[in-house]
Amino acid sequence: MNQIAKSRPLRAAVVGGGIGGLAAANSLRFRGIDVTVFEQAERLGEVGAGVFVYPNSLRQLERMGFRDALANVGARVGPGSQYYRMDGTVVGSILTTDSSGWNGMYGMHRADLLNALAAALPPDAIRTGHRCTGFAQRDDAARLSFANGEVFEADVVIAADGIHSTLQKHVVDPQPPEYSGSRAYRGLISRDKLPQWRDEAHQVWMGDGKHFMVFPVRGGQLLNYVGFVPTKSETVESWSAAGDRDELAASFAGWDPRVTELLGKVESCFWWGLYDRKPLPTWTSGRLVLLGDAAHPMLPHLGQGANQAMEDGVALARFLEGRGSGDVVRLLQQYEAFRRVRTDMIQAEARQNGLRYDSKYASLEQRDREIASSAAFRKSLYDYDVDNAVVAGLRENQVPAA
């Protein structure tokens, strides 16, 4: 049976057509795995928000042929990137390269990144209007059911359906997300409205329980801003909830004039509540595996959520490359053991970095020292090559056994 299975490519189903799901689909297809993506919305789409693509994920995307596509829609982030106190006092530079000096860092509109990933897949590989309602598996296959009455069988099912994953319950008991106590106001503003703004700069201001950041997207035509503000009650975890621009401006009154000037030009904004979750006991159940936010949702204070989802897809594809259906269950367990050491660490550090940014330190001098010295940690993030790490581990039998 296993020899017969190895005579055809593995068949993978990805549930979720966001950045993590489409990046995983591209990684799987790049490694010769037949993949179909199922998205519940009637069409693919991402709201107007920015996302960083850092060196650790950009090098993987470029290997898959996305160099030109991303360069065409991204905004290179580099010189002039700095941390400030709320009054504009410089705390330190923001690292925008890996240890080799490679500036592999883009600010991107989420829709631009999603469109680039979708365009690289065959049209029939993405099925919209498919809301997953059921999952079952037997020894030799997994089966998905959808609200439109369709069913689909695959050798492996990848749940890339976000922090509120519908498939997560088939892996672990329901694990409610944990509210961070903060909401983020976000939006886009035309670069033309702020002619003195630094080109290519990522800038972060840190104050009393709050922080504010700005970086360019869409080739520098737009600036993406995010203001993080504490709340007394939970805010919905939504990318599209309308925010109050006056409340946003009032939250940062008296800050560095660069912040207040930008906020004075904001016409509308959105907000979303910030949630993560403690590490799950497992990501896999038989032929089903959780990926990205479904497995390890992170607070945004390292900008690694989407980047870690992309790393997940690259690693998973490497584990499954050239293997047969009978190997899937064991390989998914090995994949999880390999990945979660890194994602657990980054989840925890994202929480800690949020405390730094929000000045929740008895000594701001100690906070500033940690921020200024964070380059070493950032380099370790950006230098990491997930594909090479999997290959080396498999070659040296260092990948944990299932």
Residue-wise pLDDT for 97-136, tens only, equals 999 999 999 999 999 999 999 999 999 999 999 999 999 9
Beta bridge partners of 186: 226, 270
> What is the mean pLDDT of the segment spanning 298-318?
97
Q: Which of 8-22, 157-171, 211-225, 268-282 has the lowest mean pLDDT?
A: 268-282
120: left (phi > 0), else alpha (psi -120 to 50), else beta? alpha
Could you tell me the pTM of the whole model? 0.94
Quickly tell me which residue has 């030109």 as its tokens.
Answer: 68
Q: Name the average pLDDT for the chain.
A: 92
Q: How many CB atoms lie within 10 A of CB 244?
A: 13
* Cα distances (angstroms) measured from residue 164 to each of 182, 296, 348, 368: 19, 11, 20, 35
CATH 3.50.50.60 fits 2-176+277-395, yes or no: yes
Greater pLDDT, 124 or 5: 124
> What is the mean pLDDT of the segment spanning 136-160?
97
Q: In sequence order, which residues have a C-beta less than 8 Å from that of residue 125 and are 6 or more positions away?
A: 25, 29, 35, 36, 37
pLDDT confidence band for 303 (50 / 70 / 90): very high
- Give the rounded distance of the alpha carbon of 215 from its chain centre: 17
Is 80 exceeded by the pLDDT of residue 143? yes
pLDDT confidence band for 269 (50 / 70 / 90): confident
Residue 157 and residue 65 in contact, taking contact as beta carbons nearer than 8 Å: no
Q: Can you give the pLDDT at residue 261?
A: 96
Please report, rounded to a whole number, the percentage of residues in the chain having pLDDT higher than 70: 94
Q: Can you give the pLDDT at residue 273?
A: 85
What is the dihedral sign for C-alpha 381, 387, 390, 391? negative
Is 90 exceeded by the pLDDT of residue 47? no
For the chain, give every domain's residue range.
Answer: 2-176+277-395
pLDDT tens-digit map of 49-89: 899 999 999 999 999 999 999 999 999 999 899 999 999 99
64: left (phi > 0), else alpha (psi -120 to 50), else beta? alpha
pLDDT tens-digit map of 198-257: 889 999 999 989 999 999 999 999 999 999 999 877 665 555 566 778 899 999 999 999
In a 10 Å sphere around its CB, with 0-12 CB exposed, 13-18 middle and 19+ buried, how is residue 176 labelled? exposed
Give the amino acid at 390: V
d(CA 211, CA 51): 17
Beta bridge partners of 167: none
What 3-state class would DSSP assign to 34? strand
